Structure 1
Amino acid sequence: MYQFPKDFLWGAATSAPQSEGAALLDGKSPSTWDKWFEMEPELFYDGVGPKDTSNTYYCYKEDVANMKAMHLNSFRTSIAWTRLLPDGKTLNRKAVRFYRNYFTELIENGIEPIVNLFHFDMPWWLMEKGGWEARESVEHFAYYARVAFEQFGDLVKKWATFNEPLVHIECGYFGNAHWPKVRDFKRALQVGYHTLLAHAKAVAEYRKSIHGDGKIAIILNLSPVYAKSEAKADQEAAQWADLLYIRSFLDVAVYGRFPKELVTLLKEADLLPVTAQNDKEIFANNTVDFLGCNYYQPLRVQAPKNAHYPISEPRDLFNGYDWPQKRINPHRGWEIYPTGLYDIAMRLKNSYQNIPWFVSENGMGVSDEERFTNSEGVIEDTYRIAFIKEHLIALQRAINDGSPCFGYHLWTFADCWSWLNAYKNRYGYYRVELDDHFKRTPKSSSFWMADVILNNGFNHE
């Protein structure tokens, strides 16, 4: 039997902007997503914006009851900054009531809340001041973190500061999938620096909070980087990709410092972000207690076609590589490679002090899942069961080899809204019917996982 440790956290994950709905109700102010949809609704799949999403704001008790039926013992979500502090200063009492009720409902049903502070939902009032490009964003975030810890720290004992900071940096400032959809590597680096500084300051706020007796983390997408070949140029490309996309975040979170190679690289290219005198001390003194790892697919790279030094952007150092042997989820276009989860675990063990960690996201998005509905009205998502099983086998092997992984959270529990893709791809254990009052119905994967959790593992087949 593939057995997991005692007290292993079996759960699922979502975020406030992707699940709550009630986007402009009860005092909540707009985020960049609310405003972007208002300006360019045609960019969002099927014209579905963040207004209602999965309506968890009103359906959370039903969701928690469904989680209990599945035997989940943990659940990760986020707080909407725009709901808790609509103008960045004034506490919204309706938000406090909602989140306290939500978290209490989870706890009373034996489900531990793991709560993240920022999941790509930048307040519009702060975006108008420059967003993460502006140094003042760091102080605004630290204040928001302090308020969240004060209001909910008696209920929540596992916190995270940011979810996948690489994504809002890369997609918003080196792509067009997030607002403000610009392509400027220097601006992206400044955004990254302020994001990590805001993270460190939030950790500092937690450590001095009256409720700071729990643990705090950051959630990173730790895709393992694989080179096309053993050739020197390909191996160097992989090292550069790993430095920019993985170590730039991991080293700060665990060791409290940026890699020297990264500083040298950016200095030579005149790309260093603007810093302040005591920033190094802030990073050094505020490392994390554990890590969340989001894993969907590996990163495969090869030597660049046109290497250029000093660099002006990442493609001067490496290019992507399409591995011919890959298995792929055709709905999302992502590679399926469970071994990557084992490789992540071993890296954390060997290079990052074997820090405690959990799988904070892993999952499979599929379009038109209603095609797989059986005669009893249940979606037979056997592909999702196979996906989860393969990743759990890799994870269990890592745990047997000494990795202190303490949980597995699928993305997601009930189908949620996915940014510009809206509901194009479904990820949940439960289906959400948007045109039927947000009705929730279990998929086959929910019954399979309920047995896994009940047995704290599953049999070899």
Structure 2
Amino acid sequence: MIEFPKNFLWGAAASAPQTEGHSNSNGKSPSTWDKWFELCPNKFHQSQGPETTSNVYEMYPQDIERMAELGLNSYRTSIAWTRLLPDGYTINQEAVDFYRDYFTTLKNHGVEPIINLFHFDMPWWLMEKGGWETRESVDAFSTYADTAFHLFGDLITKWTTFNEPIVHIESGYLQGYHYPAIVDIQKAVQVGYHTLMAHFKAVEKFRASGIKGEIGIILNISPAYARSHSQSDLEAKNLADLISSKSFLDPCVLGEIPQRLIKYLQEAGLTPETQPGDRELIRQNPVDFLGLNYYQPLRVKAPERPNFPPKTISDIFEVYDWPEKRINPYRGWEIYPEGIYDVAKMIKDDYHNIPWYVSENGMGVADELRFADVTGMIQDDYRIDFMKEHLVQLHKGISEGSNCFGYHTWTFVDCWSWLNGYRNRYGFYHVDLAHGYKRSVKKSGLWFKEMIGNRGF
């Protein structure tokens, strides 16, 4: 029997832009996703945009009843910056009423809301000024965060600032995947720095507010594994960890940007613009806890043709295609449960064993209706096996002393996934887009309910 601690948080995770819908109505202003879909709908899978997604804006009361039925005691979602403060300053009262009822309904059903402030949904009005490239974004975000703390601080005791901040940096400014879809390493560094400072400004606002609760950040941690023990491959691994993980972990938990990262950027001529007092702000505002998303490892090798100063991330390290990998063919990601144990051990050994939880873990699969039985229930045993394997490794880490307090899957109901639309499904509940967003539980949802009841399996 794999048994987890009492009071362990069992739940699921989502975001406002991927679930709420009503993206261009009810007082909400456009985000970069709304505008990009308007400009280039052909970039999106089957032209599925962010306007409707899973219609949680209307269906949250029923969804929360379903959460309670499965025994979830926690749920992480986000507030849409563009819904709460459409122009950055003016409060949208309809949004306040919506979120207050949403969060109150969760609490009334025994589901603790963990609320995140930013999940890739940059307001268009700010993007037109440069978005995270500009220092103005730091103050704009702290104003939004402070507004949210005061409006909902009586309902929420666990806050996070950003979800996977490295993603909007890499995808938007190094990989051409998220808006503005450019490759500019100098801008990427500046965007990363402003994101980091926005986080710390928000933490400072939270602490100054006197509101009871805790504040953290959600990071996607993919431990780097070197192709070989050669010096060049090990150096690529160290740089991959430095950029992808330690760039946010170290300042958020340890109170300082890694000296090696500072030195590397200086030597490469990529030092970002800073302001007096930034270093002290970082030092004085460590997080209370971490959310860590884990899906896959990061296998790396030394670049075939390295450039310095680097022009792209592949000048620093390259992804290595490990021939022995198991892979989820729908998402193209390696399945490596042992990585979650390595994350648990790293937090224990290198980051003061800070309280943390698995804020996302899950498996996206396409065309899941192929696996429906005669009753129509999707028999997603592959998702159950995925969770079991990862929970075994997580339990191992906890049994060795790692301070993990919960496990959240991605996600509760099938959600919209950026450029991928609804190509891959992740939820415990199937969403029928053609028939009023009708929800139907999958086999994995019933397994999760049983597992929660037993505190393990």
TM-score range, shorter chain: over 0.9
Q: Does 2:83 match 1:91? A: no
Aligned equivalents of 2:269, 2:13: Cα separation in 1: 39
Aligned equivalents of 1:246, 1:130: Cα separation in 2: 25
Aligned residue in 1 for 2:34: 34
Q: Does 2:378 match 1:384? A: no
Shift of 1:273: 0.5
Q: Does 2:358 match 1:363? A: no
Aligned residue in 2 for 1:19: 19
SS at match of 1:413: coil
Residue ranges of structure 1 left out of the alignment (5+ in a row): none
Shift of 1:307: 2.5
Aligned equivalents of 1:235, 1:77: Cα separation in 2: 37
Q: Do the aligned residues in 2 keep the contact of 1:269 with 1:312 (CA within 8 Å)?
A: no
Q: Which amino acid aligns with 1:207?
A: R
Aligned equivalents of 1:269, 1:449: Cα separation in 2: 48
Q: Do the aligned residues in 1 keep the contact of 2:252 with 2:286 (CA within 8 Å)?
A: yes
Q: Do the aligned residues in 2 keep the contact of 1:150 with 1:210 (CA within 8 Å)?
A: no
RMSD value, Cα: 0.7
Aligned residue in 2 for 1:125: 125
Q: Which amino acid aligns with 1:47?
A: S
The number of equivalent residue pairs is 457
Aligned equivalents of 2:101, 2:310: Cα separation in 1: 50
The residue correspondences of 1:295-334 to structure 2 (distance < 5 A) are 295-334=294-333
Per-residue displacement from partner, 1:204-257 (whole Å, max 9, x unpaired)?
01101142x211010000111000011111111100111111111110110121
Aligned residue in 2 for 1:113: 113
Aligned residue in 2 for 1:196: 196
Q: Which amino acid aligns with 2:111?
A: I
Shift of 1:175: 1.9
Aligned residue in 2 for 1:73: 73
Shift of 1:287: 1.0
Shift of 1:314: 2.7
Residue ranges of structure 2 left out of the alignment (5+ in a row): none
SS at match of 1:216: strand
SS at match of 1:410: strand
Aligned residue in 2 for 1:140: 140
Shift of 1:176: 1.9
SS at match of 2:66: helix
Aligned equivalents of 1:117, 1:261: Cα separation in 2: 30
Q: Does 2:133 match 1:169? A: no
Q: Which amino acid aligns with 1:165?
A: P
Aligned equivalents of 2:317, 2:18: Cα separation in 1: 33
Aligned equivalents of 2:182, 2:314: Cα separation in 1: 17
Q: Do the aligned residues in 2 keep the contact of 1:22 with 1:51 (CA within 8 Å)?
A: yes
Per-residue displacement from partner, 1:114-144 (whole Å, max 9, x unpaired)?
0000000000000001000010000000000
Shift of 1:269: 1.1
Shift of 1:310: 3.6
Shift of 1:441: 0.4
TM-score (ref. length: structure 2) = 0.99
Per-residue displacement from partner, 1:349-408 (whole Å, max 9, x unpaired)?
001001110000000000000000100110000000000000000001110000110000
Aligned equivalents of 2:317, 2:187: Cα separation in 1: 20
Q: Which amino acid aligns with 1:342?
A: Y
Aligned residue in 2 for 1:3: 3
Aligned equivalents of 1:309, 1:85: Cα separation in 2: 42
SS at match of 2:42: helix
The residue correspondences of 1:317-356 to structure 2 (distance < 5 A) are 317-356=316-355
SS at match of 1:2: coil
Q: Which amino acid aligns with 1:184?
A: D
Aligned equivalents of 1:405, 1:269: Cα separation in 2: 37
SS at match of 1:3: coil
SS at match of 2:209: coil
TM-score (ref. length: structure 1) = 0.98
Q: Which amino acid aligns with 1:198?
A: A
Shift of 1:155: 0.4
The residue correspondences of 1:220-231 to structure 2 (distance < 5 A) are 220-231=219-230
Aligned equivalents of 1:375, 1:453: Cα separation in 2: 27
Q: Which amino acid aligns with 2:143?
A: Y
The residue correspondences of 1:427-438 to structure 2 (distance < 5 A) are 427-438=426-437
Mean Cα displacement is larger for which, 299-308 or 441-450? Answer: 299-308
Q: Do the aligned residues in 1 keep the contact of 2:32 with 2:127 (CA within 8 Å)?
A: yes
Q: Which amino acid aligns with 2:289?
A: F
Aligned residue in 1 for 2:456: 457
Shift of 1:303: 1.2
Aligned residue in 1 for 2:239: 240
Aligned equivalents of 2:439, 2:313: Cα separation in 1: 43
Aligned equivalents of 1:181, 1:420: Cα separation in 2: 12
SS at match of 2:172: helix
Aligned equivalents of 2:113, 2:72: Cα separation in 1: 11
Aligned equivalents of 2:269, 2:164: Cα separation in 1: 26
Aligned equivalents of 1:440, 1:195: Cα separation in 2: 36
Shift of 1:150: 0.2
Q: Do the aligned residues in 2 keep the contact of 1:23 with 1:50 (CA within 8 Å)?
A: yes
% identical equivalent positions? 59
SS at match of 2:374: coil
Q: Do the aligned residues in 2 keep the contact of 1:360 with 1:408 (CA within 8 Å)?
A: yes
Aligned equivalents of 1:192, 1:134: Cα separation in 2: 11
The residue correspondences of 1:51-70 to structure 2 (distance < 5 A) are 51-70=51-70
- Could you list the runs of 4 or more consecutive aligned residues of structure 1 that deviate by over 4 angstroms after TM superposition? none
SS at match of 1:322: coil
Aligned equivalents of 1:10, 1:352: Cα separation in 2: 24
Aligned equivalents of 1:78, 1:202: Cα separation in 2: 15
